[in-house]
Chain A
Amino acid sequence: MIEIPELAFGCLAAGTAGAFALGGGLWRSRREQDRLRRETAGLRHQAEQSLRAGVEEAERVRQAFTAELEHLVTRRMPAEATRTAHPHVPVPGPAGTAGTATEPVLEALRTAILQERKRVDAAARAGMRGATREIQASLYRLQDLLHGLQERYDDPELAQVLYTLDHENEQSLRRAQVAAVVCGAWVGLAREESHLVDAVTGGQARLAGYRRVRLHNHLLPGTALVSHAVEPVAIIAAELIDNALRHSSPETSVVVSLEHVDNGVTVTVDDAGVGMSPDERAAAQRMVAGTDPIMFSDLGDPPRMGLAAVGQLTRQFDLSVDLSSRSPYGGVRAVLLVHGHLLSHVDPELRPAAASTSPSTRTGEVPRPRLPDDEADREPASRPAPGTAPVAGHEAATDGTPESAAGHPAPAHDRPQSGAGDLPRRRRRQVQPDRAALIRPSAAEAAAPARSPEECAAALGALQSATAAAREEAARTEGTDPR
């Protein structure tokens, strides 16, 4: 049997030991707790610090971004917009490192502006094209009327008025035509194969100062342009001569010379003006080269259309114009090169050049080449040195020129002192004495062999189908009505 005191003692001892053990554990846990509390506080402090720093950083980034955006909106985008019209305007870079992300915005802006600009420009050109086309057509009708009146009335006073009107009309026509061409229209007039000198002289006649132009024609008689190149060459010649006239003093003359070169014919326009600065020259050269598309809105106010029209035509018709050299007369030298494939040959006897065109200085040369390629190949060898050409040519021309200039068959008696070079002409002239009396009609019939109805039909059919094909082509490329 266990006694109660023993039991109590045992219990007490166990209780004491348990209390001791418990107190130790408690003490240890309190220390642990303190340590934890301290760590927590430290961590909390750290967290608070880093949070504050984060907020500050975010605020800084926000401010930078706002500044960048403001810089983009107030400085860079306007500059970019201006730059599309004026390429020399610099666009400022991003304000800070954050700005690199805004580059695509500018890029998109640039594209959008360009597209819009092209669209507006095309609309303006279309409107202008429509208007000028109508004006041009009505001026051509007026020209027909004036020519009819000139044929009909020969009273000097009336004729004087008619000449003046005709000249005014030509000038208006030229302006309308140039505007139309700049706006991408067709030149507006189909011509037949014509003498090159006719085209250049025709261009000259369209200008107010045409009396100041001296034309030296060193081409072989009969050098002609294929039909679709006639009007473009006339327009380009008119614009180049106009430029020369405008930029030289009224007392000086503008010298135009036509010469054969290796792969075609050149029309050189020299003026004795003050010339152009290198910048102007470069700009003009860019314009006439026709490589960049022409923006109507780039031409200034009032628009300077002349060189732009030249550029448009050189691109369309594979002509080349060079303005990069100085003229020996001090001003600008403009050179239009007409390539061989745009040249052809017209018989100067059957279809002489216009009476007002300068006679060729080259009538002495005998076998007339029938093919432009031949002609081009043969040329350089037989060509006189540039400096001596006009003078020497002129002497040669004095006895031989008439029939090439007027194209009129000069009657027989006066074809004496000619060298071997004149033989072909002599042969042709033998038909003429009986023609001198009858005037106009017989010669053509004599020259043109009679055609059978079938041949006529074939020729007309070919003409018609070619016209239809060309119209279709024009309608396709221009995307407007086929006119």
Chain B
Amino acid sequence: MRGHRAGRPLVPAYLSTEGVARPSRNSLERLSVLTSTAGPDPGELPPAQHALRGALEGGSLTVVEAAALLRLPVSAVRVLSAALIDQGLVTARPPVPSAGQPDHDLLKRVADGLRALKL
């Protein structure tokens, strides 16, 4: 699987935010959508913020998606994205309301179908 790691991670999550778990803003939810703003990379970002910005390059991801990609807990991604938003490097918009989301059952059936297709 992509990025699959057996065993425990070598680098603990607190290192990504230097031990900070309280984001500088409270507006971010699990499904808030993060989008990278255009513009040159400032270059001197802490590694994890850099990585998050890299993950958002050219697209948008929700907070949980970014967390899954970076293999960090959601709390850490919140802190990272809040820091990036403060610097104007990322914008966030509130989650898509649940009414606009596809039916959960349908998604489940599609997933089951996909699994059945797989060898």
Contact = CB atoms under 8 A, between A and B. Distances in A.
Contact of B14 (A155, A163, A198, A408): A163
Interface in B69-90: 69-76, 78
Given A192-B5, A405-B50, A406-B70, A411 B57 contact: yes
Interface string B21-65: 111000000100000000011010001101111110111010001
Q: Interface of chain A, helix or strand or loop or mixed?
A: helix
Contacts of A28: none
A412 B58 CA distance: 7
Given A355-B47, A398-B40, A150 B54 contact: no
A306 B57 CA distance: 42
Contacts of A411: 57-59
A399 interface: yes
Contacts of A407: 3
A151 B73 contact: yes
Nearest to B29: A154
B10 A436 contact: no
Contacts of A144: 8
Given A354-B71, A359-B47, A408-B55, A211 B10 contact: no
A159 B50 contact: no
B110 to A, nearest CB: 12
Nearest to B26: A156
B101 to A, nearest CB: 14
10 contacts: A154-B74, A157-B21, A201-B15, A354-B10, A355-B71, A402-B51, A402-B53, A411-B59, A414-B58, A445-B118
Interface of A: 140, 143-144, 147, 150-151, 153-157, 159-160, 162-164, 166-167, 170, 189-192, 194, 198-199, 201-202, 204-205, 210-211, 230, 234, 350-352, 354-359, 394-395, 397-399, 401-403, 405-408, 410-414, 436-437, 439-441, 443-445, 447-448, 450
A113 B80 CA distance: 60
Contacts, number: 177
A444 B1 contact: yes
B6 A357 contact: no
Given A144-B8, A160-B22, A167-B12, A405 B47 contact: yes
A205 B70 CA distance: 17
Contacts of A412: 58
Contacts of B50: 359, 401-402, 405-406
Given A154-B75, A355-B52, A440 B2 contact: yes
Q: Interface of chain B, helix or strand or loop or mixed?
A: loop
B68 A408 contact: no
B75 A156 contact: yes
B14 A205 contact: yes
Interface of B: 1-23, 30, 40-41, 43, 47-48, 50-55, 57-59, 61, 65, 68-76, 78, 118-119
Nearest to A198: B10
A191 B21 contact: no
A191 B7 contact: yes
A436 B58 contact: yes
Given A143-B8, A358-B47, A398-B41, A156 B23 contact: yes
A380 B47 CA distance: 26
Contacts of B19: 163-164, 167, 211
Nearest 9 pairs of A and B residues by beta carbon: A402-B54, A444-B2, A411-B58, A159-B75, A202-B10, A406-B51, A159-B21, A160-B21, A354-B11
A425 to B, nearest CB: 12
Given A205-B14, A408-B51, A408-B69, 5 more contacts: A154-B74, A159-B76, A356-B13, A356-B51, A398-B40
Contacts of A405: 47, 50-51, 54
Contact of B68 (A356, A399, A401, A439): A439
A153 B13 CA distance: 13
Contacts of A230: 10
Nearest to B119: A450
